[in-house]
Each structure stands twice: as C-alpha cells, then as structure tokens.
Amino acid sequence: MRVCIHRGSRQIGGSCVEVEHEGRRLLLDLGLPLDAPDNTPALLPAGLALADDPALLGILISHPHLDHYGLLAHVPPTLPVGMGAAARRILRAAAPFLPGEPPLPAPGWDYESGRAFQIGPFTVTPYLVDHSAYDAYALLIEAGGERLFYSGDFRAHGRKAKLFERMVAHPPKGIDALLLEGSSLGRLADDARFPSEEDIEQALVKELRATPGLALVHTSAQNLDRVVTIFRASRRTGRRLVIDLYAAAILQATGNPNLPQSHWSDVALYVPHWQRVKIKNEGWFEQLAAHASHRIYPEDLAQQAGRTTLLFRPLHQGDLDRAQCLTGARYVYSQWEGYWEGGSYDGVREWLARHGIPRVALHTSGHASPVDLRRFVQALAPGKVVPIHSFQPERYPQLFPRVEPHADGQWWPVKGPA
Ligand SMILES: [Zn+2]
C-alpha cells in the first residue's frame, strides 16, 4: 500500500490523502483550504485524478468540518462517500440554512466506531474520536497486510475525552504508518494544556452570573460539545437556553437524545426574521412545528433577559435591536480567535460598540495539545509518523520518534523506508 498527501503536509485545512493498493485507490478527506476565497473546482489538488475511473473506489471523510469535506461539491456524484451517519444528517440539516450550495456527500458507507468494513482490497475501521466536530473519526486502513492509521482531527480535553483515554489504553496494534494531525504545534507550548470543556463551563458560569441581562453566546451550532457546555452553564445559573431554528435542526439531526433539544424544558426556540422569511418562502411549516413547543417571541426576550442565554449568531442583530432586550447584556465570543482578529465579525464588533455591550472570549481548541499528541504516538508506537494538518511539520521530530515527513504530491510506502 502506498500513500500520497495531495494537500496538508504543511498546512492546516484542505486535507486530502490518497491511498493505493494493487491499482485501486481511496481518498481520505477532500477539504477546502482555510484560506480559499471561494469554493471552485480549481481548488482540487493538482495531480488528483477524479474523472470516472473504476480504480477510484470512494472517498472517506473523517468529520464534518469544511476543511475536510468542502471540495466534495466537485467530485462525480456517483463516487461513494463514507462518513458518520450523524455527520451526514447534520450536513443535510444545515445545508438549507447556509448560503450558496454547500456540498452534500453522496451515499456510501456509514461509519460505526470499531466496526470494520471492506472496500475492494481495503479494510477500513473507523474510530470515533473527541473533536469539536460531532461524529468525527480516525480511520485505520489495512491492505496487503499493512496498516495505515489516519488520525483525522482529535483532542483529549473535550466532552468525549474518554475516547482518547480508551484509545491510548487499548491502541490498535502493528501500525506501520501514522498520519498525525499537528494543529497545536506552534500554537501551544510543548508542555502546556488547553482548557477542557469543563473549564469552559466553569468560566461561563462565572460570566453568566456576572451578567444582569441577556447573555449572548456566540459559537457554531455544529460545535455540539460547546452547545452542551453553554446549556449546562445556563442551567446552573437559572437561565433558559434559547436557540434558533438552525440550531434546533442541527441538534435534532444528531439523533442523540442526551443532547439538548428544542422540546426540553430548559430550552426555547426563537425564530429570527431571516428564518421567518425562509419558513414562509420555502414552506418549512412542518419543521417549524416540530420545534415550536417552547417558542418565544421578541417581547419574551426583553422580559426574561436576565434568565436567558441566547445561542447567538450575527444574523440575530436586527431582531435583538427591535426586541429592545439588550440592557445589561453581555457577549461571549466562543470560537476561534483567528476569525475575530481576521475581521470575520467586524459587523458584530461595531454592533457591540453601538450598544455598549461588553465582550468576553471563552474558547478551547478542537485539537490535541503536544502533550496529548505525544501520549497518542507513544501508545500507537507506529513504524513511522507522517505529519499532516500542521503549519509546523518541522517540529515533529522534536516531539515524536521515527518521523518521516512527506511533501504534498509525493508517493511513499506505508511500510518500510521511503
Ligand atoms: Zn476539524
């Protein structure tokens, strides 16, 4: 079996790996580069042959983050796509709410953690991992008696940290090559740790207690670990979590009855103007009805501001202005600081200034710290460690044994010297 990183050997985002055995091929991820100005076929990695070719058996997506699946829009719709069943439902539920035409995965394989399946000469075993995307997997690919382990994106400090501990306690054996993500390298000192989701919950409880009015917590509704954190902190401080129809649809799509849902007693639905227009124009009345058991209205927001946490998105701004519910409000930014610094939310920044709403930032990474990466490598004890999904592949040899870096576009054998 041989491998080529088409994109990702020295960058975060746009990951795409090809594996080949006896002339048959599989792709692992087909991500949109993070710095892509738009999503066009020109972004497909050079050297990647996607045209109708029976040797290409399918694409296995590790998790539903755009930098891992975003270029699916440009592959033949007949090409089967593997991913988690819940991840597939989430993408389908989210698509109507998002601008443009977000790519939807073609039918293929639905992962079950630990359950191997066969694709031509390849045996694939997905392993559910702890990550900021829901239903994220690492993938073990076996062919010809050789074993490649693709870490995908993962961490050890989220709400599913047990999965990491289980993996290092009972690692898959005899791994010849480990494709290891290294997002945290260069972003966190070698011996430092990221805060856990529990830490974030604790800090958020403090912020909510210090907020006399409405708490606006800005995160991605698809970061379900964080949504749970926000829900728990709100419940602990006597606040109801108010979500919009998009978040309600995502939570339902998980199919997980342990995650907050629109019908829970501590949850309410608020439908901003933009979504009301969508409901009317697209006839989403059934979907609205399915989530409307605890629907609230602008006047409720104003009346119950001090007992409410709103899962905030920028499209709520106009609605909140009209609801006149912002006295004593506080804004908690709960995603990657790079988006804020890069100007993605300059509109929010101005809006906050206009209303005199204070901003605090509470976030933790979706990626493992260098300490946890080392524990992972030690446990798997692979024949070689190949850097991927990192801006600092040159740091790998300082942290891990048997590192074998490979440039984008280079083919290398899973087993033995390159
Ligand atoms: Zn990710």
- Give one DSSP letter per residue of 14-79, joined into a string: --EEEEEETTEEEEEEEPPBTT-SS--GGGSPTT---SS-TTEEEEE--SS-HHHHGGGGGS-TTS
Domain extent, residue 230, equals 197-361
For residue 111, what pLDDT band results from cuts at 50, 70 and 90?
Answer: very high
pLDDT at residue 323 greater than cutoff 90: yes
The verdict on 112 and 172 lying in the same domain is yes
The answer to whether residue 155 scores a pLDDT higher than 80 is yes
**pLDDT attached to residue 221:** 97
Section 358-378 average pLDDT: 98
How confident is the model over 202-242, as pLDDT tens digits? 999 999 999 999 999 999 999 999 999 999 999 999 999 99
Based on the domain organization, do 266 and 147 belong to the same domain? Answer: no
Residue 35 has pLDDT above 90, yes or no: no
- Percent of the chain with pLDDT strictly greater than 90: 94
Q: How far is the CA of 251 from the centre of ligand 1 (A)?
A: 18
Task: Measure the CA–CA gap between 87 and 246, rounded to whole angstroms.
Answer: 15
- Are residues 72 and 97 both part of a single domain? yes
Directed axis angle between helix 197-209 and helix 224-236, to 10°?
40
Asked if residue 162 and residue 79 are part of one domain, the reply reads yes
Q: 21, 144 in Cβ contact below 8 A?
A: yes
Q: Does some domain include residue 418?
A: no
The answer to whether the CB of 365 falls within 8 A of the CB of 194 is yes
Cα(226) to centroid of ligand 1, in Å?
Answer: 14
Q: In this structure, are 383 and 291 located in the same domain?
A: no
Positive or negative torsion for Cα 388, 393, 399, 405? positive
Measured in angstroms, how far is the CA atom of residue 337 from the centroid of ligand 1?
A: 16
Residues with CB under 5 A from ligand 1 (ion): 65, 133, 153
Question: In angstroms, what is the span from residue 401 Cα to ligand 1's centroid?
Answer: 25
- The token pair that represents 95 in the structure block: 């698509």
pTM value? Answer: 0.96
Q: What does pLDDT average to over the chain? A: 96
- Quote the ligand 1 centre to 389 CA distance (angstroms): 10
Cα distance between residue 204 and residue 229, in whole Å: 8
Note the pLDDT tens digit of each residue in 79-110. 999 999 999 999 999 999 998 878 899 999 99
336 pLDDT tier (thresholds 50, 70, 90): very high
Is pLDDT of 37 > 90?
Answer: no
Spatial contact of 406 and 412, defined as CB atoms under 8 Å apart? yes
pLDDT-derived band at 313, boundaries 50, 70, 90 = very high
Q: Does 375 map to a domain?
A: yes
330 and 381 share one domain: no
DSSP letter at 294?
A: G
330 — pLDDT class (breaks 50, 70, 90)? very high
Q: Are residues 259 and 289 in the same domain?
A: yes
What are the structure tokens assigned to 243, written together? Answer: 């979500």
**Could you tell me if 79 and 145 lie in one domain?**
yes
How many angstroms from the chain centroid is the CA of residue 290?
26
Say how many Å lie between the CA of residue 335 and the centre of ligand 1: 13
**Domain final residue pick, 341, 361, 381:** 361
